[in-house]
Every structure is written in C-alpha cells, then in structure tokens.
Amino acid sequence: MLTKTFQRNDLIGHPFKDQDLLKQALTHRSAGAPHNERLEFLGDSIVNLLIAEALFSRWPKADEGALTRARASLVCESALAVIARTLNLGERLTLGPGEMKSGGHRRDSILADTVEAVVAAIYLDAGFEVCRARVLPWFEASLAAVPAGKPEKDPKTRLQEWLQARQKPLPVYELVSETGDDHAKHFHVRCSVADPAVTTEGEGTSRRLAEQQAAAAAIEQLDPK
C-alpha cells in the first residue's frame, strides 16, 4: 500500500527527493506520529503567501479589502478540499481506524489540512521557488474564476453591511451545540437579527463555517434576489 501511495506523485506534480516528507504529509494524527499537523501549520502560511503574491501581481489596482476577500475565498476550507479531491489526496491518506470508519478521507477539514501539509512538504523538499511552481497551478482555475478586483464578500460581511446601511442592529451569533471529537468537530450556530426579526441556523466543521452558513440564510431572507 505504501509503495503504491508514494509512486503516485503525478497529480501532486512533484517528485519528492525525501519520500518521508510526503509520507508524513499524508498521515493524519489519528494514525499516530509522525503525522502532518506541524506540516499543516507551515503549509497554511505558505499557501496564504503564494495566493497573496499571485493576487497582488494579477490585480495591480485592487485595494487591500478586495485582495483580502479574494485570498480568503481561495484558501478557505471548502476551496482547499476541492483541490485535495482533484489531487486524489483522500484515497492516499493514512488514517487511524476510527477516522477510516467515519469517512475521514472525505471530510473537508481533513482534506484541507492535508493540502497545506503537502505544500509544506514540497517547500521543505525543494525550496520556495519550486513550491510556487508546483502549487500555483492547483489554484489556477479558481484564480481565473474570481472577478478581477471584485471578489464577492463573505455572507457575514454582506449581512453586516446590509444592516448597517439601514441603521439596523448588528446580528448576534450564538453557538447552539458543539459535538464530535477534537479532530472531527461539528458546530451548530444560530444567527439572530432583531430588526427586521429573522433567525437562521447554520452547521459546519468549524464555528466560522457554521456562522457563514447562518448569515447566508439570513441574507437570503432579508434581501432575496
């Protein structure tokens, strides 16, 4: 199994000199040490830098707000999970028995973390320039799809601005429930708008994602288009 895993580097696009780096990047903490959490930490910063650099270069007239929103949309959990599926990282993950039974290889949070870990592994294996050359093509379609300088604002920002424009109270987000193990949390959040009175709920693998979902539902009720 391991031999098969490490021979299939074609979708990642990088021939690793140090195969142990790739092995670690594809090992979830549920499978024991060495796992990919430290690589994920490093990869998170590298991905943000690569996308910030790409946007800065491609959008010379965009302001900080537009650049920040675009980067957030391109490196969010769901976007990274799409990349992981494109690279078939899920089927290559080494997971503990519990995660294997619960379908961890399909979970967005685990897939997104794995992408970041693989990015860090490439960086450590070959340096920043090679890492940029290998990784940016993974984001090319998403980069091209974002309207230049005008990325859509996230639901929480749109809801806040909609209410502020009408001098209405800001929404209140309340955590309804938090379930699951540390590595597989599930959040249930309620969004309450006082005027006009609207209450919506959202769920996700992080509190932020649940709040965004609840805000999106509120916007849909308040400002249907």
| Count of the separate structural domains present in the chain | 2
Give the active site residue among 99, 108, 116, 154.
116
* 117: its two tokens: 């870990």
Are 168 and 125 part of one and the same domain?
Answer: no
Percentage of residues in the chain having pLDDT higher than 90: 53
pLDDT band at 10; cut points 50, 70, 90: low
Does 116 qualify as catalytic in the annotation? yes
Alpha-carbon distances, residue 69 vs 74, 82, 179 (angstroms)? 9, 19, 29
Q: Is residue 63 part of a domain?
A: yes
The annotation status of 40 as a binding-site residue, yes or no, is yes
- By residue range, what is the domain housing residue 45? 2-145
- Residue 7: pLDDT above 70? no
pLDDT of residue 148: 67
Q: What is the pLDDT of residues 37-47, one digit of tens each?
A: 999 999 999 99
pLDDT of residue 182: 64
Are 133 and 54 part of one and the same domain?
Answer: yes
- Residue 2: pLDDT above 80? no
The annotation status of 195 as a binding-site residue, yes or no, is no
Are 86 and 140 part of one and the same domain?
Answer: yes
Of 91, 124, 145, the one marking the end of a domain is 145
- Residue 51: pLDDT above 70? yes
* 148: its two tokens: 């230049």
The annotation status of 201 as a binding-site residue, yes or no, is no
What CATH number did the domain enclosing 196 receive?
3.30.160.20
Q: Is residue 150 part of a domain?
A: no
- Please tell me the pTM assigned to this model: 0.67
* 165: its two tokens: 């424009």
- Residue 152: pLDDT above 80? no
pLDDT of residue 186: 84
Secondary structure of the chain in HEC code, one letter for each residue: CHHHHHHCCCCCCCCCCCHHHHHHHCECHHHCCCCCHHHHHHHHHHHHHHHHHHHHHHCCCCCHHHHHHHHHHHCCHHHHHHHHHHCCCHHHCECCHHHHHCCHHHCHHHHHHHHHHHHHHHHHHHCHHHHHHHHHHHHHHHHHHCCCCCCCCCHHHHHHHHHHHCCCCCCEEEEEEEECCHHHCEEEEEEEECCCCEEEEEEECCHHHHHHHHHHHHHHHHCCC
Contacts of 65 (CB under 8 A, 6+ apart): none
Which one has a higher pLDDT value, 147 or 223? 223
Q: What is the pLDDT of residues 87-130, one digit of tens each?
A: 999 989 999 988 888 888 888 889 999 999 999 999 999 999 99
* DSSP-assigned beta bridge partners for residue 173: 191
Average pLDDT over residues 150-179: 87
pLDDT of residue 150: 59
